[in-house]
Amino acid sequence: MVEIIDTTFRDAHQSLIATRMSTQDMLPIAEKMDSIGFYSMEVWGGATFDAAMRFLREDPWERLKLLREHIKKTKLQMLLRGQNIVGYKHYPDDVVERFVELAYKNGIDIFRVFDALNDVRNMKVAIKKAKEVGAEVQGSIAYTTGPIFTLDYYMKLVDELIALDVDCITIKDMAALLTPQKAYELVREIKERYGIKVNVHTHSTSGLAVATYLKAVEAGADFIDTAISPLAFGTAQPGIQTIYHVLPKELRPKINLKTIYEIHLYLRELLEKKYDHLLNKKALTVNTDVLVHQIPGGMYSNLINQLAEMKALDRLDEVLEEIPKVRKELGYPPLVTPTSQIVGTQAVLNVLFGRYKRITQETKNYVKGLYGEPPAEISEEIKKLIIGDEKPITTRPADLLEPMLEKCRKELEERGYLQKEEDVLTYCLFPQVALEFFELRKQGKLKPLKEKPKGKIIKIYIGGREYEV
């Protein structure tokens, strides 16, 4: 029997409606969700922290507390981006550790930890602290494709994660590239070698997901991630209603389908009345392009925007051919934030101005090792081309960072914004947004941003400058 991790309150709305589901949208069905029989619910982390504060003017910590009050039986879990926590850059260890402590204190039972480069050094501090406070830990391997990503590559990663005493291995397939056969092989191998619990996380983007989960469960996966339709499928996880019927009877989870149907009706109305403008056809339907180029959907639309802005859309095909070359030369990073931006932007520049004639600061930092260690080594030739005679660091990137907790606390106090310990973390993570938020809170003026969103906010970097498209 497989157990279900429900992602409706985190990845599903992050993927389909630009992370705009508010706490007020969640609470009316929170008790019902709690009664279904899910192993756990992913309700926090990822982009929700930033989006809640930035767009909904909600305190993410308050959301967690409220959900915990309404969801008493089911475990709650969050997605933690390793040393990036819930942000987009490396933070010092004191911030990571305090964040984990406070997340646990406010209701998180399970921490799912990953690193974009599969550099376990970037996950270590978070995992250790989570285990120390008594939480469950799902150590993630970011799944990607390429000649170096053999079964051995992944098993070496699992070795390292198990050495950190994780409770479960998550195969995290953010780009929807995991085929049913690969899922079967990976799960089988991990179960046979280690016997540890295994979870599979994928997205429906490429249409493989439903079959991938079936084979993963056949291979002995203990958990799969699903959402509740209609806040499911497309770029999100498959709907549990379908997955239930996809699984053979003896492997089906013990869940209450009647309650799921009630939630389905609630979500259908919510989406139609409140979020229809955010749900676009392209996010809902299967996109088979990703299987052709192996370029994740989000990265692809990013490229289009970037080229359009540079009036060079006619070079798209060349860029699509350049990307696998750049990726190879940079040591095969999985294409996920932030490496997807680094590789994509560098490929665009290579095509427009000649190979490595212009190099972004991000590419330089990447080659210097400031994001961590790439899956494969970068050749001396390419290193030379990109950073000249500079020496890459060999330490863990966060080893170079000064502690910032006390400094941030002091600053907040001076500004008169500090109301609770969690505020310090919020400020450390997103200083600008946090200050704006705290000021509005002080004035009693917190209300959702009036926006006519055009879709997801995607940040692109061109030559070190940041654009929002």
List 31, 163, 277, 288, residue binding a copy of itself (CB under 8 A): 288
Smallest gap from residue 208 Cβ to a copy of itself (A): 6
Is 22 near a copy of itself (CB under 8 A)? no
Among left, alpha and beta (phi > 0; psi -120 to 50; other), residue 331 is: left
Contact status, residue 306 vs residue 323, Cβ threshold 8 Å:
no
For Co ion, the closer CB: 45 or 331: 45
Q: Shortest Cβ contact with Co ion: which residue? A: 11
347 is written with which tokens?
A: 């490929």
| Contact pattern for a copy of itself over residues 204 through 243, marking x by CB under 8 A | --xxx-xx--xx-------------xx-xxx---xx-xx-
Cα separation, 428 vs 365, in Å, equals: 22
List 195, 249, 443, 465, residue binding a copy of itself (CB under 8 A): 249
Is 11 near Co ion (CB under 5 A)? yes
Smallest gap from residue 142 Cβ to Co ion (A): 10
Please provide residue 362's backbone torsions phi and psi, each rounded to the nearest 5 degrees. Answer: -65, -40
Long-range Cβ contacts of 401-407 (<8 Å, 24+ apart): 401/90, 401/91, 401/92, 401/93, 402/92, 403/92, 403/93, 403/94, 403/95, 404/91, 404/92, 404/94, 404/95, 404/428, 405/92, 405/94, 405/95, 405/98
From 37-45, 76-84, 178-186, 450-458, span contacting a copy of itself (CB under 8 A): 178-186
Among left, alpha and beta (phi > 0; psi -120 to 50; other), residue 372 is: left
User: From the list Co ion, a copy of itself, none, which binds 230 (C-beta under 5 to 8 Å, kind-based)?
Assistant: a copy of itself
From 7-15, 93-101, 106-114, 288-296, span contacting a copy of itself (CB under 8 A): 288-296
Is 6 near Co ion (CB under 5 A)? no
Cα separation, 441 vs 455, in Å, equals: 27
User: From the list a copy of itself, Co ion, none, which binds 467 (C-beta under 5 to 8 Å, kind-based)?
Assistant: none
Is 82 near a copy of itself (CB under 8 A)? no
For Co ion, the closer CB: 283 or 424: 283
From residue 280, alpha-carbon distances to 36, 49, 241, 420 in Å are 29, 23, 22, 39
303 is written with which tokens?
A: 């490229």
User: From the list a copy of itself, Co ion, none, which binds 11 (C-beta under 5 to 8 Å, kind-based)?
Assistant: Co ion
Touching Co ion, residues 74-93 (CB under 5 A)? none
Residue identified by tokens 């056969």 is 181
For a copy of itself, the closer CB: 261 or 353: 261
Q: Which residues contact Co ion (rule: CB under 5 A)?
A: 11
